[in-house]
Structure 1
Amino acid sequence: MLALTECHPSESRIGATAANNPIVDWVFPDDLPTVAEAELLEPAAPDETAMLADEDPMALTDRSEPESHTNFTKKNSKRAAKQFPTAWQQHGDNTSIPTVTLSAERDALFRRPEDYFDRFVSPIHFFRSPHGMLLYPKQDDAWASEQPDSPVDIETQMDLSHYQSYEKSPPAPQLPVLARCRAYARIYPPAGSNLSLPEWRISAGLQSPLLDQASELTKMIRRSVARHTLKKRLGRVRWQDATEKEYYEDYAHGRVALETVDGVGLWTDHDANEQWQAQVEQTGTWMKEALKP
């Protein structure tokens, strides 16, 4: 999303952004098998922070003795047991944008699964690491597996392998598999970037499989706006007290709005949303006000 990168103050920039049913995570983690918290895989490499994606990076907590993920899981086992189905799971069979169509479009748009993780493709990854990772098949040592029981000199073995190649059809290449993993918080905009996020108006339908993506994007941008504003004004990145936290979160809510409507909520006459034109006009009015000098 250019709105996250082309927002340098005092330059030609994106000052207001409207997004309708945005796809901000092409990994589609809700399509992956559910895994218990204690069994989640760790990312292949350490990420930018050691904070879980759901943690508030601005909270005043004692991190001198961080809890292990196991202890965290035990303390939150009751909450984990009460998880509700996601929007992707609840509304995946709608007629406008069914999840099977979204997954098929992903396969058509991207040649390699690795491309799903690009931050410009899945911009939610600016704010947290992916909830999924690619597991690659182990590459067996083909040469060692083809060695006969009795020792054979190298030239003889090469001849044998040459003629065997005509008899055997090449095996189909093994593709990497997507698996669910633990996600960690990322700080965006990064320090020294001189970026200032624009105002946002994000909309989605209450029966849209993309509702959770829109909600998470809203949450992450609000968190970023609150942190950036606190640091700019007071030079801190931690809340001092609950009153300060409430003040800056209210400010962020004013900068980043989430609008929900009944149905899937697409801005198109192909959807059952009869009010889509009025919603577009309202968004245009909002953008005009937001861009006033």
Structure 2
Amino acid sequence: MTISPWRATASAVLIYLPRGPHLPGGNGHDPIIIKQLLAQKLPCHIVQINYRLGNLHTYPAPVHDVLKGYDWIKEHLLPKRSISRVGRSETVGKVAVCGELIGGGLAAMLALTECRVGQPGIVAAALSSPIVDWVEQAPDTDATTAQLTDLRGKLFRKPEHYFDPFASPMLFLRSAGYTIPPAPPDVLANDMDYLVSLNREGSGMAVKSSMDEEVTLLKRTATRYPTPALGLRLPSFYLQAGSKSPVLYGQADEFTRRLRQAHVRQAGQVDFGRKVLTEDELDEMNESDKQEVAQREMEAREKVRLDVSQDLGLWDDSVPGRARIAKVGHWLRKVLQ
């Protein structure tokens, strides 16, 4: 892993996570994004974390690399306080993260977990067609789905690794919908027990997954992430996706909706602020409470934005691609001020 600062900084840092190998365009366009576009708009450090990912470095290696890089950034690039006090962070400043495809999924993971109250952390995340759910890859005629299913078999040694929310950040916000299939027979059973336990509520019938494994379809439930006990404050999100990639657009759209619900729950101090209300429940509320709910939902839409284009929606050197990157740079500049 290498960490490459591209520009000097004052008190803010932008982390850029490449789109990853095995995908169209690879990482060859990264200098265009960083040097020619983002660096022109952002007067701060721009740090690219070249996480490991490939045949020799499957998940969770990229998760570990990104978290290690983030710790290095906090230690070496954020300014230190002149006076230290017990119980207060020694560093100050703002950190944002951006990424596309696999890098977008890793950026989402970092944003959802490194946003602790009272500490320097992620305040904004810009994501382009992020892969935030490796579990939901049912076979159909869409080429992107087939490609992601094939890629999943190369990047994950065991199903439990892509059922982990650090690899599939959508699972922080809802349950997977399936039980974890058994590992292939050639994979050692004593591999690393991973990071968090998953929500396995519900019951259902046995079905065939896209990998032809028998799994149990579960009732899908929304989780209460982040709970007050975690001490997190969700950052702002700006997502971009293209309608010509239905699978990636579908992930971005659902992730946007669930992030907005999480922001509404986090803002709520009473019961109706902690869940998404049905129409009947809204009808039973008084006018003042309805206005409060509407206000929180409007604020959540400002906190989590989704722009949809009529092409693939990727960051590249095309005119639309450069325009999308420029919009990201403008948004990041505002939130990092």
TM-score (norm 1): 0.59
Q: Is the 8 A contact 1:116 1:122 kept in 2?
A: yes
Match of 2:159 in 1: 113
Return the alpha-carbon distance in structure 1 between the equivalents of residues 234 and 260 of structure 2: 10
Matched, 1:226 2:264: yes
Q: Is the 8 A contact 1:134 1:177 kept in 2?
A: no
Task: Kindly state the Cα deviation for residue 133 of structure 1 after the two structures are TM-superposed.
Answer: 2.4
Amino acid at match of 1:107: G
Q: Is the 8 A contact 1:136 1:177 kept in 2?
A: no
Amino acid at match of 2:310: D
Q: Cα deviations across residues 13-43 of structure 1 (Å, max 9, x unaligned)?
A: 11110010011110124x16xxxxxxxxxxx
Return the alpha-carbon distance in structure 2 between the equivalents of residues 28 and 254 of structure 1: 28
RMSD: 2.5
Q: How does 1:189-268 map to 2 (within 5 A)?
A: 189-208=226-245, 209-231=247-269, 237=274, 241-268=289-316
Q: Cα deviations across residues 247-292 of structure 1 (Å, max 9, x unaligned)?
A: 11001001100010011111134xxx64111110110110110122
Amino acid at match of 2:154: A
Which 5+ residue runs of structure 2 have no aligned equivalent?
Answer: 1-108, 184-211, 278-284
Return the alpha-carbon distance in structure 2 between the equivalents of residues 277 and 99 of structure 1: 26
Query: Quick one: structure 1 residues 135 and 4, their matched pair in 2 at CA, closer, same or farther if it must change by over 3 Å?
Result: closer
Match of 2:112 in 1: 4
Q: How many pairs does the alignment contain? A: 189
Return the alpha-carbon distance in structure 1 between the equivalents of residues 294 and 161 of structure 2: 38
Larger strand proportion of the pair: 2
Return the alpha-carbon distance in structure 2 between the equivalents of residues 281 and 254 of structure 1: 19
Match of 1:103 in 2: 149
Return the alpha-carbon distance in structure 2 between the equivalents of residues 216 and 181 of structure 1: 18
Q: Is the 8 A contact 2:160 2:181 kept in 1?
A: no
Task: Kindly state the Cα deviation for residue 132 of structure 1 after the two structures are TM-superposed.
Answer: 2.4
Q: Is the 8 A contact 1:19 1:202 kept in 2?
A: yes
Q: How does 1:42-57 map to 2 (within 5 A)?
A: none
Q: Is the 8 A contact 2:241 2:309 kept in 1?
A: yes
Query: Quick one: structure 1 residues 259 and 236, their matched pair in 2 at CA, closer, same or farther if it must change by over 3 Å?
Result: closer
Percent identity for Structure 1 against Structure 2: 33
Task: Kindly state the Cα deviation for residue 227 of structure 1 after the two structures are TM-superposed.
Answer: 1.3
Q: Is the 8 A contact 2:173 2:222 kept in 1?
A: yes
Return the alpha-carbon distance in structure 1 between the equivalents of residues 272 and 231 of structure 2: 15
Q: How does 1:1-293 map to 2 (within 5 A)?
A: 1-29=109-137, 31=138, 92-93=142-143, 98-135=144-181, 176-178=213-215, 180-208=217-245, 209-231=247-269, 237=274, 241-269=289-317, 274-292=319-337
Q: Is the 8 A contact 2:159 2:181 kept in 1?
A: no
Which 5+ residue runs of structure 1 have no aligned equivalent?
Answer: 33-88, 138-174
Q: Which structure is richer in relative contact order (CA contacts within 8 A, separation 6 or more)?
A: 1
Query: Quick one: structure 1 residues 188 and 277, their matched pair in 2 at CA, closer, same or farther if it must change by over 3 Å?
Result: same
Larger Cα-atom Rg: 1
Return the alpha-carbon distance in structure 1 between the equivalents of residues 308 and 240 of structure 2: 6
TM-score (norm 2): 0.52
Task: Kindly state the Cα deviation for residue 101 of structure 1 after the two structures are TM-superposed.
Answer: 1.6
